[in-house]
Structure 1
Amino acid sequence: MRIGELSRRTGVPTRLLRYYEEQDLLHPERTGNGYRAYGESAVQDVQQIRGLLDSGLTTEMIRAILPYLCGPGEIHPPPESVTPGTAALLRDHLDRIQARIDCLARNHDRLSAYLAAVRPADGKSADG
Structure 2
Amino acid sequence: MAHLSGVTTKAASYYESRGLLEPCRKPNSYRVHDEGHLSAVTEIRDLPSTGIAARQVAP
TM-score by length of 1: 0.42
RMSD: 1.6
Deviation per CA, 1:57-112, whole angstroms, max 9, x where unpaired?
23353225xxxxxxxxxxxxxxxxxxxxxxxxxxxxxxxxxxxxxxxxxxxxxxxx
What corresponds to 1:8 in structure 2? 3
Distance (whole Å) between structure 1 residues aligned to residue 36 and residue 48 of structure 2 = 18
Answering whether residue 50 of structure 2 is matched by residue 58 of structure 1, we say no
Question: Whose helix fraction is larger, Structure 1's or Structure 2's?
Answer: 1
Answering whether residue 36 of structure 2 is matched by residue 28 of structure 1, we say no
Letter in 2 for 1:21: E
Larger Rg, first or second structure (1 or 2):
1
User: How many pairs were matched up?
Assistant: 59
The sequence identity of aligned pairs, in percent, is 32
Structure 1: runs of 5 or more not aligned: 1-5, 65-128
TM-score by length of 2: 0.82
Deviation per CA, 1:30-56, whole angstroms, max 9, x where unpaired?
110001111111111111111113322
Answering whether residue 46 of structure 2 is matched by residue 37 of structure 1, we say no
- List structure 1 segments (4+ residues) > 6 angstroms apart after TM superposition: none
State the Cα distance separating 1:23 from its structure 2 match: 0.9
